[in-house]
Amino acid sequence: MIEDRRPLFSLTRKDFRIDYFRAGGKGGQKQNKTSSGCRITHIETGISAEARDTRSQEQNRKAAFMRLYHKPAFQVWMKMRQAEAILSRQEVERMVDKMMDEKNIKVEYYTPKGK
């Protein structure tokens, strides 16, 4: 059997709220003037993670995403979403198999005279 490689579900930027803030801490004036800290919240679950390790907003955003992804609560949520997607896909496949039963298929054929 060929493995089906379609994604079960996808997450986009719309599924997250991204907030930037002044990081504070080490770095002096640069930290106090730029909003380089990043907090990412998954809207559906409310799980959030933040990063303020570097002076770069982009690097902090990547670090915050990775921290969110590795949180146990987020992993549990993802496994539940995967299970729901697999079960719904299997249910659809069962319905299609049921509909494709011989008694539900009508076969018509035409002869050269049109009948």
Q: What pLDDT is attached to residue 74?
A: 93
What is the Cα–Cα distance from 88 to 93, expressed in whole angstroms? 9
Do residues 78 and 66 share a domain? no
Range of the domain at 90: 72-102
Q: What pLDDT is attached to residue 15?
A: 92
Which has more pLDDT, 40 or 88?
40
Residue 112 lies in a domain: no
Contact 19/35 with Cβ under 8 angstroms?
no
Q: What pLDDT is attached to residue 107?
A: 74
Residue 81 lies in a domain: yes
HSE at residue 93, side-chain half, CA atoms within 13 A, is: 7
For residue 97, pLDDT over 70 is answered with yes
Residue 48 lies in a domain: yes
Do residues 92 and 46 share a domain? no
